[in-house]
Every structure is written in C-alpha cells, then in structure tokens.
C-alpha cells in the first residue's frame, strides 16, 4: 500500500514555499524549555495547559487571531453593506459607470474579487506566519503527552 | 421537448450511473470497513481532490440550473443571490476548516463534545445536523423529480415518482457500499463534468457575442423587456421593507450557514492535515467562484439568446434556462450539436443531484450512527459495530428521503434549501464557534445554543408565509401566518448565539480549563489529531 506521510505533506507541499521571495516569519520560541523533561507523572491535561501557557503557543494564537478577527469583520460588514444597499437603495446601484456596467455590477464583481483576495491573503499568511511554528508545537505537544502516558501512543 | 436529445441524455446519464457504480464496487473491494474508512475515506485525499469534491458537494442543481434561470428571468437579483453562496466560503476557510479538521474525528458534534459532557451535547448537535441534512435532502429529491419532468418532457406523475425512488436507491447503494471514498470520487467526477460543461457553454456564449460582455448585457436587458432595470437589483427581491428584510435574512443565512452544513464539514476530515484542509478550501473557493462567474454569464446569455418568453413557457421558475441555452448554442433543436449539448447538460444536472444527495446521506448517516446511536443506545445493549449502524442508517435516511420526496413532489419546496442554511446558521454555527473560541463555554450553553437556534428557526418557518396564508404557500387553504419573512435567519441566528451565551452564564458548572486548553492547542496546532 502506498503510504503518504502527512507530516511530510504538511511541510513540503504547497505553492511558492521557500521560493526566496517570501519574508520568513520571525522565529517562535520553543514550547519545550530546554533541559527540562515534561511534567513527570502529571496528566495529559497538564501538558495541554502548559503548552497553552507557553510563549510559542500564545504567539501562534495571536498571529491567527490578528488576521482572522479583522478579516471576518471586514468581510461581514462589506457583504451586509452590499446586500442592504442593493435591496434598499436601487437608485444608487443603478448609476451607470461605463456602457452597460453600473455600480451594482461593479459591487457584485467586487464581492467576487474581495473573496478571492482575502482567501489568497489568508492562505499566504497562514503558510508564512503560522504553519512552521504550529507544526513544531504539534511535535512538542505530542512528545510531551507521550512522555506522560509512558511509551509510544 | 421530445426527440433525440432526450434519448441521448438518458444514455449519457446511464453511463454516469454505470461509472459511479463501478467506482463504488472498485473502492469497496478489500476494505475492512473501519469507521475511519467509512466516514472519512481513509483521510488520504489530496487537497486538490478534496477541493473538487467540496465544490461538487456544494454546487447542487439549484446552482447549476437555478442560478442561471434566476438571472435569465430577474437579471441582477440572481447575481445578488449567488454572491452569498461564495462569500460564505471565507467564513468556512477562516473560522472552521482547519480548526474542525484538527479537533474532530467524523462529525460536528465531535468538536463540541470534546470539551463538554458528551451525551447531551452529542444528542443536540446530532439532532440539528440530521435536521439540516433532511431538509436539504428533501429539496434535492423533489428537485430531481421535477427535473426529469422538465428535461425528458414526461410530465406524468409516474416518471417523477420513479425518478425519486431511483435517485434514493442509488444514493443508498453509493453510501452504504462505498462509504466516503466512493462518495468523494463521485463528487470529483461530477465536479469535473459540471465545470467542463459550464466552461464549454460559457465559451460558446462569449463567442456568440464576439467577447463583448457589454453587448451581452445590453442585449439581455433589451430582450428581457425590463430595460435598464434588468441590470439593477429590485426585480425579485426589491420592493417594500418586508421583501428587503427577507432577502437580508436569506443572505445572512447563506453566509453563516455554509460553515454549519454537516456534509461540508465532514469533507474536511478526508484530508490528512489541517493544512491540507485549508488548501482544499482554497481550491473549492477558486472552483466555486469560477463556476458562479460563468453561471452569471450563462444567465445573461440565456436572457439574450433564448429570451424570457421561451424560458417562462418551458418552466415558470426558469430552471430550464441552461438546457435551452445549450440547445440554441449548438444550433437549435434538430441539429446534432444542439442535441449533444442539451444531452450533456441534462446528464450533468442528474449527476449533480445524485452526487449531492450521496454526500448529504453520508454525513447524516454519520450523525445518526456516531452521535445519536452511540449516545442513545441503552447501556449494556449488545454493541454493534458503528459502521454497520451507519450503513443501516444510510438506508433508513434513503427511505425517509424517498417518502418525503414523494409526499412533497407537487409542493413548492424551493424554500427548503434556504431553510437548511438558516437552521445550519442558527443551530450549528453558534455552538461550533463558541466551543472553538470561548473559554467559559459550558455544557448547558452548548445544548441551549443548539436548541435555541433550531427550535426558533423551525417554528418561525411554520408561522411564515411559505407554510400558510398566501396563495404560494404549502397549505394555501389555511392561515396561521404570524411571521412575515420567508427565511427565519435574521431572527434565529442571533437567538442561537444569545441562547448559547445565556445557557453558559446561568449554568453552575465551572468551565473545564484543561479541556479548553486541549481544544485550543489541538485546534491551532493539530497535536493529537487523527
């Protein structure tokens, strides 16, 4: 059976990765403090609490939220504004721009365009600013939980 | 509409059925039938494959036939309608796809139940997921019946009923025998066919107008009889305040509901990592966005080339706009090219319905077996394999969908799709977002969020003009209409969020910090994800 390694896939696949044009994200401190083993004898729950408190995780989480919260706000406001204007102010939407193209057509195309742009921006942000740090955290967390449970899980 | 193109359409459609049944047999050989295999197709699909499958799952016949028809008859208002279906994908991409892939195993309830007391949460989330799926499924089944009548010219009740039964039987076979792997490949085949057909038709429309979109729009506006008003919102959704509010409500339901559709969420479990889930969402945004852009061109093309009178004559709702356009683009009835194009479009439309019902059946059988059965089973009862239960559940849902589809076949059920989105937005999305992002969320909050969105959405629809009190309603003879809007979203979505918050602040249960930490760490890093 062919076996596709998801870990390999997680890092190696993807467009434009490491093509030299991308700005590498600032290094993120490790979740595991060096020279200290995991919480010996503690429960797996402790591990997740410890990782959650770690600077590395806080950084990944805030990078995610700093992108997603404004982006969701912008897209909802822009979409609701579009729908409300279209249904309540058709006169404004009917204003001609060029030929048969009017404000309504431009606004509709704008929605398509902004969707494509935001999706591209999100994918790029996640790829460059989050993926590597998240994968390291994943490894570290799994190492720690394995240590707690005693043996390979 | 009788003649060669219908025979050819039937042949092409039989070929599609044969190929998909072949796929089902092929993927179901040598499988042990593990839950991983049945619900998630082994989780080894590539992002591109899954992206196509998501697009195939999402674009139902309502998109392929309905949207161009809406545009051909009402102009710009069809564009207004379609934008919501696309913008919704950003909510899926930003808030749901990766996090759900990391936290859950098979269903939406997995994500919520990980933090909460499992039984009540699973029952609540399972119930609302099954409700959404059944609403969506019935709309598709009824659509399948009327589609046959339209495309094959057989308006007799017999053909319609047999189509509903046949579609139901096929979807049960796909799902129970092939599980997620077969369903995914059927979606991919369908998505490729649909995109291919749409590209060909769009190119032909553009060639007809020598690439001059301006002339296409002007001709469409002129032939529609509405003039410039055709290119401006207001022909269908405009008018008084109620109509505006109704459309805003529908738009809200579309944008927020997609992220709560169970059959869309379960698609993200078929890829190995969160990153692959993100990339499949990106693929599907590209495919769906491209598809809708072409659907807009086809809609205006049908208005300009076929003309609204011929469209209305064939089907009052405009659902035959694309097949008629294809016939005309190929050279009209009787020409070989026209016959072939019509047959291709009809076959793609059938394939669309089959693929969509298979996807929904699979995800609702997962909700029944993995959430409801596992929680409601009496303790000590003989433990059956969950997959066996899911296969039986798929057959049960198939029978239910056939029965409801037959009962409702003469009713105007177009509102059911909007309602499915509204229920998904009011019952599934609040509980999902709260569990992923709110530290203090509790079990009572989760249960209240689900029922607090589900019950108002359903009650408001029962009290709305789509059920009673207007000539177009389900029961025109009686009048218990109390709520003026057709879509409940604008009221029920805030109610769902409010109920979740209220349930949480009034519960005595202390939120479990460790469980929240686990959900948060897992959702953002993928640690411990299966």
Residues 6+ apart with CB under 8 A from A111: A78, A79, A82, B83, B86, B87
pLDDT score, position B287:
96
Whether residue A10 and residue B275 make contact (CB cut-off 8 A), yes or no, is yes
Distance from CA of B231 to the nearest CA of A (A): 8
ipTM: 0.91
Q: What global pTM score does this model have?
A: 0.89
Whether residue A10 and residue B276 make contact (CB cut-off 8 A), yes or no, is yes
Query: Is residue A68 situated within a structural domain?
Result: yes
Distance between CA atoms of B142 and B469, rounded to whole angstroms?
23
Whether residue A116 and residue B285 make contact (CB cut-off 8 A), yes or no, is yes
Question: CB contact, 8 Å: A51 with chain B?
Answer: yes
Element spanning A97, H or E: strand A96-98
Q: Which three-class secondary structure string do you get for B73-109?
A: HHCHHHHHHHHHHHHHHHHHHHHHHHHHHHHCCCCHH
Whether residue B251 and residue A80 make contact (CB cut-off 8 A), yes or no, is yes
Element spanning A85, H or E: helix A55-88
Residues of A in contact with B521 (CB under 8 A): 48, 51-52, 57, 137, 141
Q: Chunk chain B into consecutive blocks of 10 residues (it has 530) and report each block's average pLDDT, rounded to whole numbers.
A: 69 87 82 79 90 93 86 90 94 94 90 89 94 90 76 68 86 88 91 94 94 89 87 81 89 94 93 93 96 95 91 81 89 82 86 89 91 78 76 91 83 79 95 93 94 95 85 79 89 96 91 88 87
Query: Is residue A14 situated within a structural domain?
Result: no
Query: Is residue A22 situated within a structural domain?
Result: no
Whether residue B87 and residue A87 make contact (CB cut-off 8 A), yes or no, is no
Best mutation target among B275, B290, B299 (most A Cβ atoms within 10 Å) is B275
Q: Which domains can be identified in chain B, with CATH numbers?
A: 4-22+37-414 (1.10.4160.10)
Question: CB contact, 8 Å: B48 with chain A?
Answer: no
pLDDT score, position A120:
96
pLDDT score, position B340:
86
User: How many other β-carbons are positioned within 10 Å of the β-carbon of residue B262?
Assistant: 29
Closest to A148 measured CA to CA, from A48, A28, A65: A48
The two tokens of residue A146 are 């394995």
Q: How far is CA B473 from CA A84, B90, B470, in A?
A: 26, 34, 5
Distance between CA atoms of B69 and B498, rounded to whole angstroms?
38
Residues 6+ apart with CB under 8 A from B331: B337, B338
| Residue A149 pLDDT level (bands cut at 50, 70, 90) | low
Distance between CA atoms of B472 and B470, rounded to whole angstroms?
5
Distance between CA atoms of B308 and B304, rounded to whole angstroms?
8
Query: Is residue A4 situated within a structural domain?
Result: no
Beta bridge partners of A96: A102
| Residue A4 pLDDT level (bands cut at 50, 70, 90) | very low
Three-state secondary-structure class, residue B271: coil
| Residue A21 pLDDT level (bands cut at 50, 70, 90) | very low
Residues 6+ apart with CB under 8 A from B7: none
Distance between CA atoms of B187 and B53, rounded to whole angstroms?
5
Residues of B in contact with A141 (CB under 8 A): 521, 525, 527-528
The two tokens of residue B222 are 């002129």
B515, B520, B521, B523: CA torsion to nearest 10? 120
Residue of chain B minimizing CA distance to A82:
B80
Q: Which domain holds residue A47?
A: 41-149
Element spanning A98, H or E: strand A96-98
Residue window 105-134, chain A: list those with CB within 8 Å of chain B.
Answer: 105, 108, 111-112, 115-116, 118-120, 122-123, 126, 131, 134
A128, A129, A130, A134: CA torsion to nearest 10? 90
What 8-state DSSP symbol labels residue B369?
I
Query: Is residue A19 situated within a structural domain?
Result: no
pLDDT score, position B4:
66
Q: How far is CA B182 from CA B15, B160, B175, B444, in A?
A: 17, 27, 7, 38
pLDDT score, position A29:
55
Question: CB contact, 8 Å: B520 with chain A?
Answer: yes
Closest to B57 measured CA to CA, from B419, B354, B415: B354
Q: How many domains does chain A have?
A: 1
Element spanning A102, H or E: strand A101-102
User: How many other β-carbons are positioned within 10 Å of the β-carbon of residue A118?
Assistant: 22
Cα angle A132-A13-B184, degrees, rounded to a multiple of 5: 115
Residue of chain A minimizing CA distance to B286:
A116
- How many CA atoms within 13 Å lie on the side-chain side of A122? 30
Closest to B259 measured CA to CA, from B110, B112, B425, B417: B425
pLDDT at A37 over 50: no
Rg, Å, chain A Cα set: 23
pLDDT at A91 over 90: no
Query: Is residue A48 situated within a structural domain?
Result: yes
* CB–CB contacts below 8 A, A to B: 178
Question: CB contact, 8 Å: A4 with chain B?
Answer: yes
Whether residue A108 and residue B87 make contact (CB cut-off 8 A), yes or no, is no
């Amino acid at each position: 059976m062919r076996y596709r390694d998801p870990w390999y896939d997680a890092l190696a696949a993807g467009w434009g990765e490491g093509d030299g044009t991308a700005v590498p994200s600032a290094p993120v401190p490790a979740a595991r403090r060096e020279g200290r083993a995991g919480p010996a004898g503690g429960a797996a729950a402790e591990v997740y609490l410890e990782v959650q408190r770690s600077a590395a995780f806080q950084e990944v989480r805030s990078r995610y939220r700093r992108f997603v919260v404004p982006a969701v706000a912008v897209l909802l406001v822009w979409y609701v504004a579009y729908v409300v204007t279209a249904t309540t102010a058709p006169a404004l939407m009917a204003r001609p721009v060029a030929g048969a193209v009017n404000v309504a057509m431009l606004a509709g195309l704008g929605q398509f365009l902004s969707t494509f742009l935001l999706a591209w921006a999100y994918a790029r942000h996640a790829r460059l600013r989050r993926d590597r740090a998240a994968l390291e955290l994943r490894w570290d967390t799994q190492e720690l939980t394995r240590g707690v449970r005693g043996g390979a899980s | 509409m009788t003649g060669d193109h219908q025979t050819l359409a039937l042949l092409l459609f039989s070929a599609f059925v044969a190929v998909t049944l072949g796929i089902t047999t092929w993927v179901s050989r040598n499988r042990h039938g593990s839950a991983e295999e049945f619900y998630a197709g082994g989780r080894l699909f590539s992002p591109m494959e899954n992206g196509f499958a998501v697009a195939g799952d999402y674009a139902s016949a309502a998109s392929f036939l309905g949207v161009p028809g809406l545009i051909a008859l009402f102009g710009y208002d069809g564009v207004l309608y379609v934008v919501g279906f696309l913008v919704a994908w950003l909510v899926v991409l930003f808030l749901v796809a990766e996090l759900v892939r990391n936290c859950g195993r098979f269903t939406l309830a997995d994500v919520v139940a990980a933090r909460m007391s499992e039984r009540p949460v699973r029952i609540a989330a399972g119930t609302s997921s099954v409700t959404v799926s059944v609403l969506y499924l019935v709309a598709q089944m009824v659509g399948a019946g009327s589609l046959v009548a339209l495309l094959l010219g057989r308006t007799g009740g017999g053909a319609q009923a047999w189509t509903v039964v046949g579609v139901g039987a096929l979807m049960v076979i796909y799902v129970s025998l092939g599980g997620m792997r077969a369903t995914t490949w059927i979606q991919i085949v369908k998505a490729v066919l649909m995109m291919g057909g749409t590209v060909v038709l769009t190119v032909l429309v553009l060639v007809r107008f020598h690439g001059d979109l301006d002339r296409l729009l002007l001709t469409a506006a002129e032939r529609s009889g509405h003039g410039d008003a055709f290119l401006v919102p207001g022909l269908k959704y405009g008018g008084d305040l109620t109509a505006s509010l109704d459309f805003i409500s529908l738009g809200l339901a579309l944008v927020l509901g997609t992220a709560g559709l169970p059959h869309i969420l379960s698609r993200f479990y078929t890829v190995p990592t969160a990153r692959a889930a993100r990339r499949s969402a990106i693929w599907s945004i590209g495919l769906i966005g491209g598809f809708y852009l072409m659907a807009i061109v086809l809609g205006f093309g049908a208005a300009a080339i076929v003309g609204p009178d011929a469209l209305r004559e064939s089907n009052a709702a405009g659902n035959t706009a694309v097949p008629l356009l294809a016939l005309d683009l190929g050279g009209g009835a009787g020409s070989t090219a026209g016959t072939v194009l019509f047959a291709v479009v009809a076959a793609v439309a059938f394939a669309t319905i089959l693929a969509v019902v298979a996807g929904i059946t699979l995800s609702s059988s997962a909700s029944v077996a993995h959430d409801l059965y596992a929680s409601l089973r009496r303790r000590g009862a003989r433990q059956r394999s969950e997959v066996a239960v899911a296969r039986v559940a798929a057959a049960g849902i198939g029978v239910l969908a056939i029965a409801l589809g037959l009962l409702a076949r003469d009713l105007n059920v177009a509102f059911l799709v909007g309602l499915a989105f509204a229920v998904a937005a009011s019952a599934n999305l609040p509980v999902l977002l709260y569990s992923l992002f709110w530290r203090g969320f509790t079990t009572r909050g989760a249960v209240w969020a689900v029922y607090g969105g589900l019950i108002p959405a359903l009650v408001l629809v029962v009290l709305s003009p789509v059920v009673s009190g207007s000539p177009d309603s389900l029961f025109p003879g009686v009048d218990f209409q109390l709520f003026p809007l057709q879509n409940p979203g604008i009221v029920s979505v805030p109610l769902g969020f409010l109920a979740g918050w209220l349930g949480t602040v009034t519960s005595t249960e202390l939120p479990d910090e460790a469980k929240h930490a686990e959900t948060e760490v897992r959702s953002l890093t993928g640690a411990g994800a299966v």
